[in-house]
Chain A
Amino acid sequence: MKNPRLLTLHALAVFSFLYLPIAVLILYSFNGQGVGGFPPHDLTVNWYRILFNDGPIWDSVLNSLLVAAAAMLIALVFGIPAALALDRAQFPGKALFRRLVLLPLILPGIITGLSLLMLFRVADMKLSLLTITLGHGTALISVATTEVFAGLQKLNRAQEEASLDLGATYWQTFWRITVPNLKLSIIGAALLIFTLSMDEIAVSFFLIGRDNTLPLEIWGRLRRGITPEINAISTIIFMFSLIAIIFWYRLRTKSELSREIAAGLADAANEC
């Protein structure tokens, strides 16, 4: 692999393998001839017009947004204290807990979905958006816990001691020092949970009631035949994801940049 041209070619191939399907998806959302046919003919925004007048799709988008927002809240509320416990508290079985908390991430969605379904059956709960929300929320606690735990590991504990030393109680220290330092991890976890919930199918499939989430709505329509309208809604989702990724990336690089500057200055101070 010494040949740089071969390497470039290889990179291009991987890149196109990853992104060509998305490009095709976007392109065909403007295809006047419906799905199929190459090259696309009669470029049009007609599919978008149809999409915007499609009530059920927008109902499912709204459902998905609601579920994602609520699941995010649940995961954070339970995940952050779990991360704090992992980082600070000493309790029997801590090592086991640390691994178990990761399990839902590794477990196939089918298992999680099926077990939640059985749980709700036992609890005699009617399947609805609520059960999906609870399902997503619990399954994604592990994401919140791992992200925030990673942030806590990077946090300089001396800062918290300095705060206590300066007269702040443990609670004041948590809000004034710990949380601001974890801001990035928490936002990162929130974005990740939101996105994962938005496109989750396996767990949702088991827990769905009367109202569809967007992925299930799309999946249902595909069974009746594919139309460029699906391409159009997918394109819009893709754009939103892109914006979220860019937002997150900029936030992260900004903070890492300032951390790098700090480290650089400390080194310089040591040298001169």
Chain B
Amino acid sequence: MATMMEQGVSNKTEPAATSLLSIRNVAKHFGKNIVLRDISLEIAEGEFLTILGESGSGKTTLLRILAGFEQPTAGEVWMTGERLDTQPPYRRRVNTVFQHYALFPHMTVEQNVGYGLAIAKRPTAEIESRVAEALAKVKMSAYAKSKPSKISGGQQQRIALARALVNRPRLLLLDEPLSALDANLRRQMQVELKALQREVGITFIFVTHDQEEAMVMSDRIALLRSGELEQVASPREIYNRPATSYTAQFIGHTNLLHAEVRQGIATSGALQWPISLTDGPALFSLRPECIRLIPSSSVVSNSSPASNNAVRFRATIRDQAFHGATDLLRVETDAGLMLTIRTASHNLPNSSSNSDIEFEFSTGDAVAVRRSEDRR
């Protein structure tokens, strides 16, 4: 509580040059149900930040607090030196693209897009030109006079985007805007949205439960779990250096290795590799594509030493699933440890020799992660 107070008081003196939005110790309770606890996050000007989480993780609630539809139970939200969370939604320079678009059915596309400007009492000529510009930007000029019910879901999506962007907000919130679209259209919109964001330079906060979508689009990902931030990092970092076992499992596939560290050596079943950690139990994440299959021809002799920082082991292929360019293998090591391995399809040995195949991984690819405790 004391730190919260200090932050609130000292805000005006804080440099706001790089940070557009500052979420400080925000919590949200619905009765006894704690939806968000102690969320703190700085969002930079022009950033594309994705709030990623499973359903029930609190991501939509966080977005609604930023939009002004919910009040935080504790904590504050500031935007460039101004307190945001005490403002009603209509006084925030924040606009939202809603999950199901929420277009006004009794207005034309044009009237929908011009709604914010009309409310702001802009001159008619300005409204017309800005609406036309916004519709052109989302390639929907031809539908200006249509009613929302007469256009497709993807088109409604574009109109919702135009309706928000036309007001030139400081911050655009997007609440799973692509979830209602089919897979192909969704991929196309991901690319378009990202391009549009770079073009207009507006800060985007994008909420999704789809980790692939988050990886493709974001500058940074804030992974939310049961109302708490699990990790905030760039897609690359969050994938390559997951901080916790939950992150490692939620973003992509991984192998979690339970190991015991003794004097700089980690041991997990038959696997051993050097690690600079204090002694005790430890958890490691090893991505399936970090394990390489060693072609049998190269195993001339067992004495051929693996490079210093590689760990070699033998395993039997138990299961194999074709995924296009790659195959996913389930293998069992001699010590009974099951591992998932992703390998290029052409690397696979003949199906006749599924047992006693040699694999290796680089010691640096086994990333020590914190164990994620059950919170609920």
Contacts and interface: CB of A to CB of B under 8 A. Distances in A.
A177 B104 contact: yes
A122 interface: no
Nearest to B152: A269
Contact of A167 (B104, B106, B116): B116
Nearest to B67: A165
B96 interface: yes
A262 interface: yes
Interface string A252-270: 0000001101100110111
A172 B118 CA distance: 11
Contacts of A270: 153, 180-182
Interface string A205-232: 0000000000000000000000000000
Contacts of A258: 147, 149
Nearest to A265: B152
B88 interface: yes
Nearest to A157: B102
A172 B149 contact: no
Contacts of A172: 119
B161 to A, nearest CB: 13
Interface residues on A, range: 20 to 34
Contacts, number: 90
Contacts of B95: 165-166
A165 B96 contact: yes
A180 B149 CA distance: 16
Contact of A156 (B67, B69, B102, B153): B102
A259 B167 CA distance: 28
B148 interface: yes
Interface residues on B, range: 35 or more
B299 interface: no
Contacts of A158: 98-100, 102
B98 A265 contact: no
Contact of A271 (B106, B163, B182): B182
A269 B153 contact: yes
A168 B90 contact: yes
B227 interface: no
B96 A268 contact: no
A169 B103 CA distance: 17
Interface in B36-64: none
B105 A262 contact: yes
A262 B149 CA distance: 4
A247 to B, nearest CB: 20
Nearest to A156: B102
A181 B149 contact: no
Interface of A: 156, 158-159, 161-169, 172, 176-177, 180-181, 258-259, 261-262, 265-266, 268-272
Given A165-B90, A180-B106, 8 more contacts: A163-B104, A164-B88, A165-B89, A166-B95, A177-B104, A258-B147, A266-B180, A271-B182
